[in-house]
Structure 1
Amino acid sequence: MTVSRRAGLLSAFLLPSVLTATTATGAALAQEGKPREVVSTISSGYFDDYLMLAVDGKAKTLSGYYNDGKCRFIFRDALSPTELYQRSELGEAYVVDSWDPDHPDRHFTTTLYSKTPNGYRNQLTLEPGSRDENRPKACRNRISLDRSSWVSESFYDVAVVRKRGARVFTIARAGEKPTPAPRKDRLPPPGTGVWIDRTYSAAFSPKGFVRLNWYDPPGTPHGGYVRQEDLYPSQPLPQRDGGDEAVQ
């Protein structure tokens, strides 16, 4: 057998194997380069009585209010779980737009993650505004909290009371039109966090009003409609180009 024929037979034998190996390697590399999908398991509730966390699975939003008496801030963002850069062992994490209710023009980002095997069922950690001058000065760099209770799935957002002595209303039917009727009770003091409750009918969603629930004292439920102007104004969801950047 000539040298050229032997070389041709060898090439014919090796080529499929080489192509298979190359294809497999390319597929593996492509798989490695594809971002891993992170499933959302975070849920609403109180954490150590300092944090109110609201998850709206329908609208895909995540919001909360932290207040320990010195440090306080609101956050609201898309329900978009991610992995933190160089901290993938923490798993499901969130990077959310945040602000002090008294200074809605000073925004910073807060990172949320959990360090326990059962995740957000039991515990979460907040890192508000790392290296950001807009972060409230009294806030610690890292705040770890244990879950203290769960709340209704109809609580889809949080708000903060702005006006002292704000009136509470109920919906009364006057003729054909349901209208808010004032009650004797009042909202809790300014700075108190309240839950925004979902309404399922236009008749029970009067313009300029929102239905709330709150617990004052803790464990004692209250509810009713209040004027939106008696709460700190909400902020729109941040607009980001090309997705969120993972935090280092």
Structure 2
Amino acid sequence: MSPAHDPGPAHDPSPVLTRRTRWAVGSAVVLALLFAGAATVASARDDGAPAAAPRTPSARSADAGFARDMAVHHQQAVEMSFLVRDGTQDEDVRRLAYDIAQTQANQRGMLLGWLDLWELPKTAPDGQGPMAWMEEAGDSHSGHEMHGMAGMDGMDRDGALMPGMATRTELGQLRAARGKQAEILFLQLMTDHHKGGVAMARGCAERCTVPVEKRLARGMVEAQQSELDLMADMLAARGAAPRS
């Protein structure tokens, strides 16, 4: 809890209310997009012109694999953002954490919504582990960013299922940290998380076939790369640096 302070004039807008308003607006936009997408698919299926109907990705496609895996990846980013909110009163870190949580929660809703529209399961098909969609889609010019990331042998490394994900041990450390220690650990963990997310998004931008999903993936690359630069500056200001 922040120290008690004078709330100011009654007419000043509350930051909490403002943030809730932005969240509500963002959620409304996501819902509108999902309903619009559903209407488009329904129209394409019912207009008697099968040739014009969009191709539905298969469960083993890059489109479905990216949607499933990035939804899980995003969920952990949201969790870490809430953990650091409880561990520090630093407004810059809390603001960054709020922005990450809001953005990635909304994107996660879109990814899961597409799986529903495609009538595909939210779990991987038998025999296909996390990141298998990148490996099965063939080679790519992503180069060294993909090396060692696809096909992680189905191993659960202390809860880190995909590139950049924090382990259970690291999440426990973040949960217990306070003040500057919490800020540095969050920024380091989120830097690793974003690097993994950027590589996954680039994989979808190259392999996915659904145009709207490819656009979302490219947008993720741009936004998370910008946040990586910001987090590097924030770590330097605290006398620290990214872990790798």
Q: TM-score range by the shorter chain?
A: under 0.3
Structure holding more strand per residue: 1
Structure holding more helix per residue: 2
- Provide TM-score, normalisation by structure 2: 0.20
Larger Rg: 1
- Provide TM-score, normalisation by structure 1: 0.20
